[in-house]
A and B are shown apart, each in its own frame.
Chain A
Amino acid sequence: MVSNVFVGLGKAQARALGHPGLPLAVIPHPFGSRTRDEVRALAEKCVVEIVKLAAAK
């Protein structure tokens, strides 16, 4: 799971670690400054995408 600013990093790191096709769930940047409520809302959205990615695998 990465924020959109770090998608390139996530892909490059996945390649470097031998998993070039690793699916990435993307959330909006920045993440560090979000309140707890915003993080919860993001998590609810993101879990749907993660389940989709896991199911696709």
Chain B
Amino acid sequence: MSVVPAVPLSRAALVEAPDDLDELIEFFHARRWSDGLPVVPPTRERVERMLSCTSRKPDEVVANMAPGFGAATIERIAINAVMAGCRADYLPVLIAAVQAMTAKEFNLQGIQATTNPVAVWLVINGPIAEQLGVNGGMNCLGQGTVANATLGRALRLILQNVGGALPGEMDRATQGMPGKFSFCCAENEAQSPWEALHVERGFRRDQSTVTVIGAAGTHNMNTHAENADDLIRVIADTMAFPTSNDYWINGEPWIVIGPQHAEILHARGLSKADVKRRLWEESKLSAGRMAKIELARTQIARSEELGQITADTLLPISGGPEGIGIVVAGGPGTHSVYVASFGDTRAVTREVKQ
């Protein structure tokens, strides 16, 4: 959809704000320019410093963002990055993320406005992950790393302040989820036995990329399974739950495989494609486990793909094994993470350019 912004685009307006820190924090909260946490004031100096890390013009429109169709200019992305606490050289990652999120197949309109708890998960690959210090190791989905915390937060502020998805207004989430504050990690390429995510998706290893994923939650899978068959069986069984969007829509679920688990699979001689195929086959869900109404909507949504669907049908989680995403991330430990998807979305990868 081509949308002409209602307001003429130029540089951002300067706004007079209180000097007192407590008053300043409340100033942002009162205007709903924050995610509920204090923000770094986007002074002219800080924004200019951020803009110095890209060759692109401040008033260039990267995209119009659903559901409010605000224009994501380079400057507006930079302002929100400052507010989130990003370091200046993070800006190119956010520009690429905005490009990725506004690709049609990502379905930003649905993700922003749905009642579902959907966060945008950023996965960073290539040399920039190390350059910026994006964590793909221990606690990579948790707190404590500046790049992970502030890149994910900046993206949320952009989705809210530029895309217009304010909670309770255009963001209609029934409960939402903690990942909507921030959800960002690198892939642990150094400890992955397989090709990196961005290589799998058509990029060179020396290119830097950001992948955006419409994630509906994180579910820990703690297993001391010592052989590949056992490990695949319990992961696949975790994926198959009857309230998952993925089964009735034909989704795109993701697995964050911890390095220890990845090594067990690799030692058995399994490629990433082999793992996907095994998971796809073993995670089929008996349609009769769904609520009757979900079975009925699955019959409507997937009969063209699967033929007649009855309570005895074994539903695949995605259209094919390639529909399952795999990221190797985390530190030592017997954990992997299941990331169910919004369903009606496809991950998008874009190169990060300076």
Instruction: Report chain A residues within 8 Å CB of B293.
Output: 33
* Alpha-carbon gap, A35 to B301, bound state (A): 11
Residue of B nearest to A35 (CB): B296
Residue of B nearest to A30 (CB): B115
* Alpha-carbon gap, A33 to B296, bound state (A): 8
* Alpha-carbon gap, A8 to B293, bound state (A): 27
Q: Contacts A5-B115, A5-B172, A36-B300; is A12 near B67 (CB within 8 Å)?
A: yes
A54 interface residue (CB < 8 Å to B): no
* Alpha-carbon gap, A18 to B69, bound state (A): 11
* Alpha-carbon gap, A43 to B41, bound state (A): 50
Instruction: Report chain B residues within 8 Å CB of A13.
Output: 67-69, 170
* Alpha-carbon gap, A32 to B169, bound state (A): 20
Q: Contacts A33-B293, A36-B300; is A9 near B70 (CB within 8 Å)?
A: no
Instruction: Report chain A residues within 8 Å CB of B67.
Output: 9, 12-13, 16
Instruction: Report chain B residues within 8 Å CB of A18.
Output: 4, 6
Secondary structure at the A interface, as helix, strand, loop or mixed, is helix
Instruction: Report chain A residues within 8 Å CB of B113.
Output: 6, 9
Instruction: Report chain B residues within 8 Å CB of A17.
Output: 3, 6, 69
Which of A13, A16, A18 has the most C-beta atoms of chain B within 10 angstroms of its own C-beta? A16
- Give the Cβ gap from A1 to chain B, nearest Cβ, in Å: 15
Instruction: Report chain A residues within 8 Å CB of B170.
Output: 8-9, 12-13
Of A9, A16, A32, A36, the contact of B69 (CB 8 Å cutoff): A16
* Alpha-carbon gap, A51 to B327, bound state (A): 51
What is the size category of the interface that chain B forms with chain A?
Answer: 10 to 19
B294 interface residue (CB < 8 Å to A): yes
- Give the Cβ gap from B276 to chain A, nearest Cβ, in Å: 28
Q: Are B294 and A16 in contact (CB under 8 A)?
A: no
B92 interface residue (CB < 8 Å to A): no
- Proximity bits, B160-176, A CB within 8 Å = 1, else 0: 00001000011010000
Which of B67, B294, B300 has the most C-beta atoms of chain A within 10 angstroms of its own C-beta? B67
- Proximity bits, B97-130, A CB within 8 Å = 1, else 0: 0000000000000000101000000000000000
- Contacting B at CB under 8 A, from A13-36, are 13, 16-18, 32-33, 35-36
Instruction: Report chain A residues within 8 Å CB of B6.
Output: 16-18
* Alpha-carbon gap, A18 to B246, bound state (A): 35
B201 interface residue (CB < 8 Å to A): no
Instruction: Report chain B residues within 8 Å CB of A9.
Output: 67, 113, 169-170, 172
Instruction: Report chain B residues within 8 Å CB of A8.
Output: 169-170, 172
Residue of A nearest to B163 (CB): A16
Instruction: Report chain A residues within 8 Å CB of B169.
Output: 8-9, 12
Instruction: Report chain A residues within 8 Å CB of B44.
Output: none
Instruction: Report chain A residues within 8 Å CB of B32.
Output: none
Residue of A nearest to B68 (CB): A16
The 9 A-B residue pairs with the shortest CB-CB distance, nearest first, are A16-B68, A33-B293, A9-B170, A18-B6, A12-B170, A9-B113, A16-B69, A13-B67, A33-B297
A-B contact pairs, 10 of them (CB 8 A): A5-B115, A6-B113, A8-B172, A9-B113, A9-B172, A16-B70, A16-B164, A18-B4, A33-B293, A33-B294
Q: A6-B172, A16-B6 are in contact. List 7 more A-B contacts (CB 8 A).
A: A5-B115, A9-B170, A9-B172, A13-B170, A16-B68, A16-B164, A35-B296
